[in-house]
Amino acid sequence: MTKDECKQVVLDIIAEIAPDEELSDVKPEVALREQLDLDSMDFLDIVMELRKKHGIEVPEGEYGNLVSLDSCAEYLTPKFNALV
Amino acid sequence: MEKYDVAIIGAGMSGIAAGIRLAHFGKKVCIFERHYAPGGLNSFYFKEGRKYDVGLHAMTNFVKPGVKRAPLNRILRQLRISREELNLSEQLGSRVAFPGRDLRFNNDFGLLESEVEREFRNEMDGFRKLVETIQTFDDTEFNYPYQSAREVVRRCITDVVLEDMIFCPLMYYGSSTEDDMDFGQFVVMFKSIFFEGFARPQEGIRNIIKLLLQRYKEAGGIRRMKTGVASFKIEKGRVDRLILDSGEEVQADIVLSSVGLPETYSLCSEKIESETDIKAGRLSFTETISMFKDQPSSFNWGDDTIVFFNNRDRFAYREARDPVDLTSGVICIPNNFDYGEANLPEGIVRVTCLANYETWKMYTEEEYNSEKENWRSRIWNAAKAFMPTNSLDYSKDCIAHDMFTPKTVEHFTWKQRGAIYGAPRKTKDGTTPVSNLFICGTDQGFLGIVGSMLSGIAMANTHALR
């Protein structure tokens, strides 16, 4: 999986959790919370959807890695690639 | 023995909402409901071919789609329900009506501000100070200490009539304590009613229940109706198994109970030691529902969605001494929401008053029926005094009616004393002295339809998903 594909996985999850958010021009380097109306319950959902849909575990102490699309890709892509 | 990850007691708003979260994330979850109908305190039934709603007058917390951080939009996200599916229509306008005074409000807070200015010009600075205090209060924290809402309000407002007029709707729509409430609870209610507002799906509560159940089923949740839980077998400080009314036993790692705090404790096989007394609530209600052939607008009652009335100098929100307390109440006209062309087929007027549990409970069947008849017309007359004059002949023009009392509520919901807002003491974080038993719903402390769903979601997230 490439980092761009990984960002798309995260965006797809956000689209499902928050269908009312406009996701077409999310800036990958900017914190998601600064661009979208996401609260801690939504971030918990992103973590749980990653586990449910893709078998990826994000321990509570590492939630900080999900702050922006870039940081998500940095942190999650190796996890995805380790699955196969 | 059947074994679940989570057992939920009660198929009301909070129980189903919790179930959706848990089933969606792969938990093996079962909801046990003693009644044949889902919904709990907010439900519906048919009588002589007509549909009746119980509970929900209006959904509070109305905001437009997309409003950030709003509880309504947050819970819909968590439940994966879209605003379109919920199909809410906004209220036309509501009122707090006291002797010689009227405060109108709707889903635009500006109306209430201008009404306070019109009726209580000298209190305007105080009212603004109160609004600011409410806006800066952090109500997301579970464990804030108790603070008397009356005391906080009195620091801002000196006119007791304005004070009572603010408290009246907030108490009627969700206070389990007499005459005062916790300031945290006050803030939540104030925001949900005055900052946000009222709306209703055209189909009423059944639309919400239908959506929730559909989502729960799609997520793989299991539901057992007409299956009450008779007791929790406690071993080593945890619920070891659940004994059903039929005698069948099931196991669950976690138990989420929405049946109320004293009710939950009384299900435990061992006496639960607790630092404070857990008493059933003392506030119970009666409601009359009157149906008319025509729309209320045809008899000059087309403007008010909800009217909170009080006909005394001071508003008293406490256990009724008479079978029904006629000094205050709530009038709800479900036709008066903005449905566009598709209004309800018949006119409906619901009137809710405080009622005395013991009296209604003790009547013989014959007395019960004749007292219902007697109080129905007295309640109508008390409410009518605060409505525009009309040409109705109530006994002739009312084509169908029904009435519930505290006894009815207790019978169908198993809430002790028919106390719809539950016990005065809430367990905000949902924990109990039993390690795997948690409380959601009314006695966790979030009230109203949106509050109860939020309660189920928050307790499921906190205690069963992490």
CA distance B457 to chain A (A): 10
Q: What is the pLDDT of residues B92-110, one digit of tens each?
A: 999 999 999 999 999 999 9
Q: What is the pLDDT of residues A14-65, one digit of tens each?
A: 999 988 889 999 999 999 999 998 988 899 899 999 999 999 999 989 999 9
Number of domains forming the structure of chain A: 1
Cβ-Cβ contacts under 8 Å for A53 (sequence gap 6 or more): A13
Residues of chain B found within 8 Å of residue A41, distances taken between Cβ atoms:
74, 77-78, 457, 461
Name which of B25, B65, B80 is nearest A20 (Cβ-Cβ): B65
Say what the pTM is. 0.93
Mean pLDDT of the residues in chain B: 94
d(CA B310, CA B376): 18
CATH number at residue A38: 1.10.1200.10
Q: Which residue has the higher pLDDT, B151 or B273?
A: B151
Please report the sign of the dihedral spanned by the C-alpha atoms of residue B265, residue B266, residue B269, residue B273: positive
The contact set of B with A (CB < 8 A) is 24-26, 65-66, 68-69, 73-74, 77-78, 80, 82-83, 457, 461, 465-466
Residues of chain A found within 8 Å of residue B466, distances taken between Cβ atoms:
60
Its domain, for residue A68, covers 3-83
- Would you state the pLDDT for residue A75? 97
Distance of CA B189 to the CA centre of its chain: 11
Share of chain B above pLDDT 90, in %: 82
- pLDDT for B278 beyond 80: no
d(CA B431, CA B256): 10
* DSSP helix/strand/coil, B99: coil
Looking at residue B447, the DSSP 8-state letter turns out to be: -
Could you tell me which CATH number the domain at B2-56+203-279+423-465 has?
A: 3.50.50.60
Burial string for A71-83 (b: 16+ CB within 10 Å, else e) reads: bbbebbbebbeee
- pLDDT for B455 beyond 90: yes
B interface test, pick of A43, A45, A53 with most B CB neighbours within 10 Å: A45
Q: What is the pLDDT of residues B373-393, one digit of tens each?
A: 999 999 999 999 999 998 888
- Would you state the pLDDT for residue B145? 82
